[in-house]
Structure 1
Amino acid sequence: MSSHTPKEYDLVVLGATGYTGKYVAEYVTSHLPTTLKWAVAGRSETKLSSLVDELRTLNPDRMAPGIEVANLSPDDLDNLVRKTYILINTVGPYHLYSSPVVEACAQNGTHYLDVTGEAPWVLDMIQKHHSTAQSSSAIIIPEIGIESAPSDLLTWSLATLIRQKCGTGITSTNATVYEMNSRPSGGTLATILTTFDSYSPRQVASANSGRWASSPVPPPPPPSKSSSSYVSSLARIFRRIIGVRTLPHLGLVIPSPGAGPNVNIVQRSWGLQDRGAYYGPRFSYHEYASVRNRLVGWLVHTAIMLGALSLVFPPVRWLAKKLVFAPGQGVSREDAARDRMEFWAVATADEGEGGRAGRSGSPGRRLRGFGSRGGCIT
């Protein structure tokens, strides 16, 4: 832990009365050890008290969580984070409200988790608070929700598996969202629609470009490319426009709309794991979404591109805000219970790095992971 001084709580859920925060609080109540000392935090004591009453019915054996009333002022946040070892923050859009939360945790040595997918904001937080968090021993982990935990955990699992089986790192790693049945909450939609209010299109594009901006060490050298003909260059341009391609073992795919923040997090994990040595010095990661056929792939890809482009214009964002879930709202519990996401990935062992794969002189091994379990074939 970051401090030897005993804390009042092991865990605090900030924003616990919101749509996502309530799910987090319910999960803690139903699944984590009953000896856990924890609290729910937010601005309204009345709402927090009602939430605690609901939580008591889920697990009568668990001691009720504490109630911490806190605004997003520096004094309130400092007082809150000093009471706990770990803070789970569900107050979004994060770029509007949660910068002082990260700052307070970094300064006070409190470990921090959130469920954002706001790549420009995450880069801001890294640049502003990484050194402070290092000094205070605070562990700051953004994006532990649908963005970007599946991508990050799956890549780490494959790298670990290949280290164990082949004694080497990995090079190209391709992942695809093979199946997804999920609808975003109002908070997620508000985040998407307000990002362009706080960041320019150039900043958003740069943060989601996958150019190793979040890595703490310089990126691996780009793979050498053989001289390409005019025809092959045209083929690459055509593929970018159409969006559909075929990958070995993964089938037909298009660029994933969530790839930007996910790639950034995976690349940062690469740099944090022994300065890139664990994943390997020639590592790369790419993320896609599976499609049934080329026509569907082209239609979906085109719709995503046009939709993303339209958000640059303020009138479009204003109209969209009127038509979608408001912050704090989301799909019903019945619909949420049917949410499903399945990731597939293929990683190639780096036979040039050394270890068994390199010494054998055999072709690099490809291992395929299913979900986050990291099962494989060789």
Structure 2
Amino acid sequence: MSQSSRQYELVLLGATGYTGKLTAEHIATYLPTNLNWAIAGRNAKKLQDVVDELTKKTPDRKQPAIEICELEKGVLDVLAKKARLIITTVGPYMLYGEQVLAACAKNGTHYLDCTGETPWYHDMVEKYHETSTKTGAIIIPECGLDSVPADMMTFALTNHIRKTLSTSTSSVVMSMYAFKSGTSGGTSSTALNLFSHYPLSKLSSTMKPYALSPVRPTKPSKPPSANLFYRLLGLRHIPELAGLQTNWPMATVDTAIVHRSWGLFESIAKDSSRPNLSYGPHFRFTEYMRTKNVVAGSLVHLIMVLGGFLLAFPLSRWILTPFIKKFLIPAPGEGPTKEEMKKEFLHYRGMGIADTQKKEKVMGKLEVPYGGYVATAVTLTAAAEVVLRGDLAATEAGKLGGGIVTPAMLGEQYLEKLREIGMNIEVGI
């Protein structure tokens, strides 16, 4: 079935969950009022409640239809054939994501999600990238807070260096400069479940910097250096990014996605007449979090290292998990309240370094006037508009004709949509 003849432009799967509801609100608020769309899930009453709430907030638009859908292969195949694009916010994706992605890949249906589960992403590339290239399905996992800010900041910086300095980029360093953002029970539980779902060998191999890239660099640039004292404490001092930096919990996930973008653009540049798409043969991405002082930064590093170590082993994980779930993280389905979200924000800083003898530096910033979950709703909504109503054929994702790609493959159009919905993205500052 051709995409033009499908019943819906968009189906949002998981609209009754915490992130799903926010995404439904943003679709209703920012996408064209004549969008032909549906929300899908297992519980008809909860879905109707979502529609009723959307009707109150956006009475001037066409409201979504309701599709009752179990996460089963045959049912999902039917749903995929009805839609041009499916957005799924149903996680953990390692438990509930593969059947949805597989149905989209098989039936030529575009796909977006907001996972941060890198081992799962790795498996999906191995299983379904080739299928989706044949059917024309553009599949973009990690199109939420994981890992749109990092991926699009890198795209913007490398693009600026290429256009203004006529050279490639040696590296991009990004910093979580300042933030206030809560967490949901679903996100927290997913992070815990990764350790029990995958063996350590799998986690280690799939979360290496270039694990998701289709190619490997021969001589990647070196990451920012640090003296022995700072290295022992997990710190870096980068004056251009406001000084002292420590571990950022999302860095490993973001790094894998940015390097997949690098690898995809590198492959296109080598196999086509468009060498200007390459970030650069020596490109490396690194990400940190700004910290106020040595003590605070060292404490973050210690917590992350010790926490990861204890969760890696079954016995200590068995002892810790009940305590973490009871006292440290929200229950599934819970997250920041509407009032709390009004005070949230995310501010990033980035630095691109040209691959020249002078090592010219280009600075950038990405500022989000809301927290992580609203940011995810925004990034999914903006990507959906590019795919459905933008000039998709002009994007690198569209030119590839299908496959498991990254947010950066939606290019300049995606940057502009993110800006339109409220993100401040500047480079060359």
Fold-level similarity (TM above 0.5): yes
C-alpha contact (below 8 Å) 2:71/2:96 kept by paired residues: yes
- Structure 1 residue 222 corresponds to structure 2 residue 220: yes
> Match for residue 426 of structure 2?
374
The structure richer in helix per residue is 2
List per-residue Cα deviations over 1:88-140 (Å, max 9, x = no partner): 11001111111111111111111111111111111111111111111111111
Aligned-pair distance for 1:209?
A: 2.6
The amino acid of 1:373's aligned partner reads I
C-alpha contact (below 8 Å) 1:161/1:374 kept by paired residues: no
Distance in 2 between the 1:326 and 1:206 partners? 31
SS in 1 for 2:23: helix
C-alpha contact (below 8 Å) 2:14/2:90 kept by paired residues: yes
C-alpha contact (below 8 Å) 1:29/1:59 kept by paired residues: yes
1:26-175 pair list within 5 angstroms: 26-175=25-174
> Match for residue 294 of structure 1?
294
- Structure 1 residue 254 corresponds to structure 2 residue 246: yes
> Match for residue 364 of structure 1?
359
> Match for residue 334 of structure 1?
339
Distance in 2 between the 1:350 and 1:45 partners? 55
> Match for residue 318 of structure 1?
322
Aligned-pair distance for 1:205?
A: 2.8
Distance in 1 between the 2:185 and 2:98 partners? 20
- Structure 1 residue 285 corresponds to structure 2 residue 285: yes
C-alpha contact (below 8 Å) 2:170/2:221 kept by paired residues: no
List per-residue Cα deviations over 1:321-368 (Å, max 9, x = no partner): 2332122111111112222111111111122xxxxxxxxxx7132101
> Match for residue 16 of structure 1?
15
> Match for residue 373 of structure 2?
none
> Match for residue 240 of structure 1?
231
Higher relative contact order (CA 8 A, sep 6+): 2
Distance in 1 between the 2:425 and 2:265 partners? 20
Distance in 1 between the 2:2 and 2:238 partners? 48
Distance in 2 between the 1:175 and 1:85 partners? 34
| Structure 1 stretch displaced more, 192-201 or 311-320 | 311-320
C-alpha contact (below 8 Å) 1:39/1:68 kept by paired residues: yes
Which runs of no fewer than 5 residues in structure 2 stay unpaired? 270-276, 367-423
- Structure 1 residue 213 corresponds to structure 2 residue 217: no
SS in 2 for 1:273: helix
Aligned-residue RMSD, C-alpha: 1.9
Which runs of no fewer than 5 residues in structure 1 stay unpaired? 226-231, 352-361
Aligned-pair distance for 1:240?
A: 3.2
State the identity %. 41
The TM-score with structure 1 as length reference comes to 0.90
> Match for residue 308 of structure 1?
308
Aligned pair count reads 357
C-alpha contact (below 8 Å) 2:350/2:363 kept by paired residues: yes
Aligned-pair distance for 1:223?
A: 4.1
The amino acid of 1:259's aligned partner reads A
Q: 1:82 to 1:181 in 2, by over 3 A?
A: same
| Structure 1 stretch displaced more, 146-155 or 317-326 | 317-326
The amino acid of 2:212's aligned partner reads S
Distance in 2 between the 1:83 and 1:220 partners? 44
List per-residue Cα deviations over 1:200-256 (Å, max 9, x = no partner): 12322332231x11011233423489xxxxxx99x44x4332011201301110121
- Structure 1 residue 350 corresponds to structure 2 residue 355: yes
SS in 1 for 2:40: strand
Distance in 2 between the 1:105 and 1:77 partners? 8
Greater C-alpha radius of gyration: 1
Distance in 2 between the 1:54 and 1:272 partners? 41
Distance in 1 between the 2:198 and 2:3 partners? 40
Distance in 1 between the 2:91 and 2:52 partners? 24
SS in 2 for 1:122: helix
| Structure 1 stretch displaced more, 85-94 or 309-318 | 309-318
SS in 1 for 2:144: coil
- Structure 1 residue 264 corresponds to structure 2 residue 244: no
Distance in 1 between the 2:87 and 2:263 partners? 24
List per-residue Cα deviations over 1:28-81 (Å, max 9, x = no partner): 111111011111000111111111011100111101101011000001100111
Distance in 2 between the 1:87 and 1:196 partners? 28
| Structure 1 stretch displaced more, 53-62 or 277-286 | 277-286
Distance in 2 between the 1:307 and 1:322 partners? 17
Aligned-pair distance for 1:4?
A: 4.7
Distance in 1 between the 2:363 and 2:139 partners? 30
The amino acid of 1:191's aligned partner reads T
Q: After TM superposition, what 4+ stretches of structure 1 lie above 6 angstroms from structure 2? A: none
The amino acid of 1:295's aligned partner reads V
Distance in 2 between the 1:246 and 1:319 partners? 35
The TM-score with structure 2 as length reference comes to 0.80
The amino acid of 1:285's aligned partner reads F
SS in 1 for 2:55: helix
